[in-house]
Amino acid sequence: MSRITDLQKNLFGGTTSNARQFGMISTLVAIVVLFQIWTDGLTLTSGNLIAVVSQYSYILILAVGMLMVIVAGHIDLSVGSVAAFTGIVVAKAMQEHSLPWPLGILLGLLVGAAIGAWQGFWVAYIGVPAFIVTLAGMMLFRGANQYIGNADTVPVPEGFRKIGAGFLPEVGPDTGYNNLTLLLGLAACAGVVWREWKARQTRREMNADLAPLWVTGVRLAVMIAVIVFATLRFAGGRVGTSLPISGIILIALVLAYSHYTRNTIGGRHIYAVGGNARAAELSGVKLKRVNFAVMMNMSVLAALAGMIFVARSAASGPQDGLSWELDAIAAVFIGGAAVSGGLGTVSGSIVGGLVMALLNNGLQLQGVGSDMVQIIKGLVLLLAVAFDVYNKSQGRFSIIGTLTRPFRREDPAGTAAPPAPASDADKTKVAG
């Protein structure tokens, strides 16, 4: 038993035990395998994987921000409305005032920042619970979206659509693959190897137990195999497609925020505030500033997600972003964050989000109606968290409990690569 745990730890956990991550990744793999068989191999086709990434990237971007909000002990219900509001403002500005699209993106981010400052102000400096502030924001910005857009759809220019529906250009010799995607895959492999080497070095400097070399080797081989597979799939779609731009934005954000939450002072302060606000304050953490920052950051990411969505659907409409907040929150909790704050990882949330995305798409590929999809997703969320709670109450390894230790160090096996999951080829606009 303990040898299996050890192996599990070594293979999946990077430096420390990481049962939750292991559980989630196994679930993810199981779902991929299940749907791959069920759909006769449709799930892992290039076209489907590309569709999944472009369809779910904005939800995953939201999950990244939401993870930090939840870790700090808050919640943000307004992200869908904020995304929709930003979308309409940017679309209008570009269509009616012929704002160039790069400035449009900048404008969108500024709108997000302004909304975030507004919500952060109420949460951090006035002390209104985030639930209330963002519930108000949810209504407020939904209404504002419809007020500005007259409940109409507003198209966006070609250039802008790139961030949602764009692909990497075809450059260099004709290899039959998208060369830039291949390069990215190569870089990811190098990154994974470098990371692993760094981690071993750090462990050695700490005089901590080193996993046997073969274990590191196996883990690396698995990760590289996943990356290579994903790379070939993303690069090998029909000509003109590649890893979507939105997917690249997502990966960049995941890497950046993973690093931030795990390795920096600012990240640690977020966990400190969520774990025990008073203790954090008495340790010199600027509580208000942290709360303000996480709320503001969430709205900026929501604005970005909104713009990507509008770009993908080529127009901004009054129903954009409906119930996104719920998908993002579900992803974070499936990914192992604690409702009371202080625990959770960016990588966990991404894995949680992918579980949801894959379920959604696999079921839709099978022609399961959206009614059943909702029911299944609801059950998955409930069971995932119930499993955690049950394990904890039984005094076995607590998945949430084990997260306390690895949360700043574990190896985000699920994030380093454009994960191989994915399925979906649906045409609906609203993600789930």
Partner 1 sequence: MTPTAPNLLEMRSITKTFPGVTALADVSLAVREGEIHAICGENGAGKSTLMKVLSGVHPHGSYSGDIVYRGEQVRFDSIRASEQAGIVIIHQELALVPGMSITENLFLGNEPRRRGSIDWKSAQRRALELMEQVGLREDPDTLIKDIGVGKQQLVEIAKAFAKDVKLLILDEPTAALNEADSQHLLDLLRGFRERGITSIMISHKLNEIEAVADTITILRDGRTIESLDVKADGVNEDRIVRGMVGRELDSRFPDRTPAIGEVFFEVRDWTVRHPTSDERMVCKGSSFQVRRGEIVGFAGLMGAGRTELAMSLFGRSYGTWLSGQVFKDGKEIRLKTVADAIGHGLAYVSEDRKSIGLNLLDDVKTSMVAAKLSKIARRRVIDPVREHRIAEDYRTSLRIKTPSVDEGVVKLSGGNQQKVVLAKWMFTDPDLLILDEPTRGIDVGAKFEIYGIIQRLVAQGKGVVVISSELPELIGLCDRIYTVFEGAITGEVARADADPEVLMKQMTANKKSPTP
Stretch that binds partner 1, among 116-124, 176-184, 236-244, 400-408 (CB under 8 A): 400-408
Question: DSSP label at 167?
Answer: B
State the nearest-atom distance from the C-beta of 205 to partner 1, in Å.
5
| Residue with smaller CB distance to partner 1, 131 or 397 | 397
Measured N-to-C along each axis, helices 287-313 and 158-165 cross at an angle, to the nearest 10 degrees, of 110
Pairing of strands 315-316, 154-155: antiparallel
State the nearest-atom distance from the C-beta of 279 to partner 1, in Å.
5
CA distance 29 to 56: 18
Using CB under 8 A as the criterion, what x/- string covers residues 30-69 for binding partner 1? ----------------------------------------
The SS3 of residue 375 is helix
| Residue with smaller CB distance to partner 1, 342 or 352 | 342
Within residues 260-289, the interface with partner 1 by CB under 8 A covers: 263-266, 268-269, 271-272, 275-276, 278-286
Q: Does 6 bind partner 1 (CB under 8 A)?
A: no
Quick one: which H or E segment has residue 154? Answer: strand 154-155
Within residues 293-352, the interface with partner 1 by CB under 8 A covers: 342-343
Q: Does 4 bind partner 1 (CB under 8 A)?
A: no
Quick one: which H or E segment has residue 358? Answer: helix 346-365
Within residues 183-242, the interface with partner 1 by CB under 8 A covers: 202, 205-206, 208
Tokens of 352: 């949680």
What's the start-to-end Cα distance of the chain, in Å?
39
| Residue with smaller CB distance to partner 1, 264 or 374 | 264
- Alpha helices (H) along 14-100: 19-38, 46-71, 79-96
Question: DSSP label at 211?
Answer: P
Phi first, then psi, for residue 356 (nearest 5°) are -65, -45
Q: Does 354 bind partner 1 (CB under 8 A)?
A: no
Residues binding partner 1 (CB under 8 A): 16, 202, 205-206, 208, 263-266, 268-269, 271-272, 275-276, 278-286, 342-343, 401, 404-405, 408-409
